[in-house]
Amino acid sequence: MSGADATVLVRSDQGVGRLTLNRPRALNAVDIDMVSSLAAALDAWERDADVEVVLLDGAGDRGFCAGGDVRALREQVMGAEAALAAEFFLAEYALNARLAEYPKPVVTIADGITMGGGVGLASHAGHRVVTERSQLAMPETRIGFTPDVGGTWLLAHAPGRIGEYLALTGGTMDAADAIYAGFADHLVPAERIDAFRDALETRADPQGPAELVLLFDETPETSRLEKARPWIDDVFSADSVSEILARLRAHPEPDAAAAAELIASLSPTALTVTLEAVRRARRKRSLREVLEQEYGLVMWFALTQPDLVEGIRAQLVDKDRSPRWQPASLDELDPGLIDQAFAFRPPRALWG
């Protein structure tokens, strides 16, 4: 496809290279072709002196990017086509790292729903804008999976134990939460987004996006997560998922009971691996190291664990919301589960 029908709109004008995810009916969910188009444009613009700034946004007003196509992932895993899944992850993670390391300023506008793979596109850039409509999340545990696309790097560097809380519950952040947790930098009202885009192309003084966005942003209200930090830090500093659940159930904070009920309904395998992934990511030195860890884990889930297929079925295919996890309880987990998951090496290495 080309022109207005393309799933990624690529154009440049007045020093701004603009990339727009263009699948609004699918909330701009990304597939391998879209990842390839984004990467190709970044490659070309790195050598193009006429492009000074890159702007990444999404078509429509409902979402920047709802994530990757997990239904397709389920079909690939069930059809013994894991190599196709690996190809997508390899390309996607390379793009995540590319956005973080790009030598020219990258501005992302995460307006509306931004989850999973959408966070990987939006939250590693140098200048990250959200609006009052933004809803950011890493909800992978809800489908028996684990946060990826560099999500555990972001979660690991959130204040206190906010990262563990968001990782295990898959909770959604509004604009204030996203800025507080380190997933975004600026709140620009949706009604001013078009003016901000125009200003990037017609900028005179100030010239750079870091200064320019300050003309449009607003100070968000105090984050809900910031207000909840005391009880979240107390609970989610526990050593294991079982102890976190015990602390949640004993805590007087009303939101703790709801969190306990949610976590108790999720995959014991996904929860246990995810908690360890966030804590190991906290000790890593770079995003690339964390992406490598995540790649091993997602392929471990795809190649060896039944909960991923079952979680996608329950949430997105049959939509019965009644997953049958294997094993069904934390007490039934293999004591060597964590060692097995983190020792797994995919057939093909992430970085060549």
**What residues act catalytically?**
68, 117, 140, 148
Beta-strand pair 63-65/53-58? unpaired
Q: Which residues in 105-130 are b (16+ Cβ under 10 Å) and which e?
A: bbbbbbbbbbbbbbbbbbbbbbbbbb
* Spatial CA neighbour of 326 closest among 314, 316, 343: 314
C-beta separation of 98 from 146 below 8 A = no
Q: How far apart are CA 217 and CA 148, in angstroms?
A: 29
